[in-house]
Amino acid sequence: MSRWIAPILAAFVATGAVAQTSDSSDPIQTQDGIRYACTGVGASSREDPRWQAFAAKLVFAAKNGGYLHDVTTRVTNAEGKTVFSTTCGPWLLLDLPAGRYDVTATARDDSGQGHDSRATLSVGGGKQTETIIRFPGVPG
């Protein structure tokens, strides 16, 4: 029986079936022509140099300042048209065209109750716009 262990183990290693350390590469995705990334979990993810290229960075924070996950976010343009929506966190990076946008975000507390927060983004000028969206009704 032991003569089979080495060949089986070698097959797992060769095919990558053995657990490996994550490279913490959060994927860059596209929705209706807007590039975005959901990230911010773990130091290596937050320090990823790819995020500097995005026009806007939204950070979702609870009452105590802690990061929030699974925040439902809707972005509308100056005409009131929804141009982007997703559920993620604690960071949402967006490659929006220059302009003014309204953001509506909903986070849930431990009981499942939704809490809304709103922000206005002004994107453009060649520098990343960072906005912290706080949820005072969510303890953290």
pLDDT tens, residue by residue, 8-57: 334 433 333 333 333 457 999 999 999 999 998 888 888 899 999 999 99
122 bridge partner residues: 100
- The residue with tokens 């925040």 is 71
Does the CA dihedral 50-35-133-26 come out positive or negative?
negative
Q: Where are the domains of the chain?
A: 22-135
* CATH superfamily placement of domain 22-135: Carboxypeptidase-like, regulatory domain (2.60.40.1120)
Residue 118 DSSP one-character state: E
pTM of structure: 0.80
Judged against a pLDDT cut of 80, whether residue 83 lies above it is answered with: yes
